[in-house]
Chains A and B, each alone.
Chain A
Amino acid sequence: MLAYLIRRFGQAILVMSVMATIVFFGLYMVGNPVDLLINPEDDLLAQEAAIRRLGLDKPVHIQFFHFLGGLVQGDLGTSFVHNTPALELILSRLPATLELAFLGVFFALVIGIPLGMYAGLYPKSPVSRTIMAGSVIGFSTPNFWQGLMLIMLFAVFWRILPAGGRGETVDVLGIPVSFLTWDGLSHLFLPALNVAIYKISLVIRLTRAGTAEIGLQDYVKYARARGLSEWRVINVHILKNILIPVVTVVGLELGNVIAFAVVTETVFAWPGIGKLLIDSIGLLDRPVVVAYLMLTVFMFVMINLVVDIIYSLLDPRIRVKRRA
């Protein structure tokens, strides 16, 4: 297990460095952030001072060595635009994204599992067919358009929810969160729903397939034959077993949610890391893009690892196989 962990870490670090290098040089090729950042009305002396302050007067390979030197000391560079350390900037935006992602996944599980189980238990009923048709549409609808339509319905036509922004936040342990105030919650609901709809469809499909398969297993038949209540059969014998694939996929999807939050955050002007990335790409704010990339890659590798571990905890068969 330890060797496995070390190998995974090694791989993560390799991927992070390769991607960071490519993005570092790639952004250098696309354009010069100086053109966007300095005041063209300034005299040449002031412009040169600004360029020097950003470290952009040196050749790109020297800039890269500076970046590497900073990296070793845990410094991912300073944002050209915001003039704060890139890592600090991203971490200050991270809670907003995480809040959105967790609520979205929560919606997906709470809505998706019961609907999927119903569709799996009663595949022929019209309700199940409606659920499945809905999940096909949920799958196919482009995320950003879905967000626009939510805004159109809830904010423009019915005027019951705000169209964007984060609303009032409360500090919990120094981290601002929205879900504790009514205003924050009303701002959070639509973006979270936007994040959730695709996941709900996914969870419905997984749960339905799992329920239909497990419903035919001998131990379920035996549980019914023993005269256990249907409630107990469904909630203990079936639910526990379908949770394995659902947990894996939803765990893996958490990374996807954070990556796709770029779209939702842009639609709803939600001040998370996704919006920060899009703004930084537009402004060629290289330190922020590179730092975002390294953090996200690291996060993905960690999520994959954690899911693998949880998976082996939930399914004893995998542990047995590994030992053998």
Chain B
Amino acid sequence: MVADTPLKRFIADYVSSPLAVIAAIGMALVILAAAFAEFVAPQNPYDLMTVNILDGSLEPGETGFDGFYYWLGSDEQGRDMYSAMIYGLRISLVVSVIAVTSAVFIGLTMGMIAAWKGGWVESLIMRIVDIQLSFPALFVALLLLAILGKGIDKVIIALILIQWAYFARAVRGAALVEIRKDYVMAARCAALSPHRILFRHVMPNCLPPVIVIATVQIANAIAIEAALSFLGVGVPITEPSLGLLIANGFDYLLSGRYWISFYPGVALLITLVLINLVGDHLRDILNPRMNK
């Protein structure tokens, strides 16, 4: 096996599991579909010119008045469910990726500061992390949104505030180990600034656990956002994520129009399973204890 650079070794390790490769490809397709929703979706569900209310509540596989084929049915307003799902997926993904990226940034900084400074700074940061993580994420998110109000930006803020703690805890653990290593001592002897040592020398070595947690947390963020939107404290009705699409279908479920909530849920489930499969495999190959 050619294993000269860490990246090559990483790729070689990753492709060792066919299931994980399939999951990664699936994930890439999902991301592409969401990114290019305008081109992938057969209809723009939020363009009133293309949506016809006479085509409302069509069953999957029915054809509308203008010959448009609704293979996953349409909702009450005549929106093609398949198109609405792709657009909804985009909102779900954007919200969670922005939230997790910001949380990674804050968590990395806080975790490394805690490990580097020690003393009361470390105690304070880790105390906050411990206390926050002793509550379920959804509970914290609900209360944050109760005091922040509704809106996409508010959901993102709430997600960042509940997720940074996971990264801070993991980074502090990894950084504590790294700081005691010889290369950090060497860097200190070379009189490099703490800032440079932390961000150029220590941080890259703390990244593997962060990558694993970030993957899983993106799935969590999507699920939490969906639950919040379902509960009516998440994204506004004008920008429906997958969770809000499911919530909208709830009203029609009891009259047998199952497809309005069923298919967005399936899309949500598939997305979450794909991310979790990738995350599981990343954890296996990036876990230092499993390295041979």
Contact = CB atoms under 8 A, between A and B. Distances in A.
B39 interface: no
Contacts of A111: none
Given A142-B268, A142-B269, A148-B265, A22 B147 contact: yes
A19 B143 CA distance: 9
Given A142-B223, A144-B246, A151-B253, A260 B136 contact: yes
B interface bracket (residues with beta carbon within 8 Å of A): 35 or more
Contacts of B258: 152, 156
Contacts of B230: 144, 263, 266
Given A29-B147, A278-B232, A142 B138 contact: no
Given A142-B227, A148-B265, A156-B253, A296 B139 contact: yes
Given A23-B146, A142-B272, A304 B136 contact: no
Nearest to A282: B232
Contacts, number: 111
Contacts of B143: 19, 23, 289, 293
B269 A263 contact: no
Contacts of B25: none
A27 interface: yes
B149 interface: yes
Contacts of A27: 146-147
Interface residues of A, number: 46
Main DSSP-derived SS at the A contact region: helix
Interface stretch (A38-46, A47-55, A75-83, A133-141): A133-141
Contacts of A151: 253-254
B134 A136 contact: no
Contacts of B254: 151, 155-156, 163
B142 interface: yes
Given A152-B253, A156-B258, A163-B254, A26 B146 contact: yes
A270 interface: no
Contacts of B148: 26, 30
Given A23-B146, A26-B146, A263 B276 contact: no
A97 interface: no
A143 B149 CA distance: 23
Contacts of A219: none
A256 B253 contact: no
Identify which of B142, B143, B268 gathers the most chain A CB atoms within 10 Å of its CB. Answer: B143
Contact of B146 (A156, A281, A296): A281
Nearest to A286: B146
Interface string A249-272: 000000110011011001100000
Contacts of B223: 142
Contacts of B246: 142, 144-145, 148
8 contacts: A23-B143, A26-B147, A149-B265, A151-B254, A152-B258, A163-B254, A266-B230, A281-B142
Interchain residue pairs A-B with the least CB separation, the first 5:
A26-B147, A145-B265, A259-B139, A140-B272, A259-B136
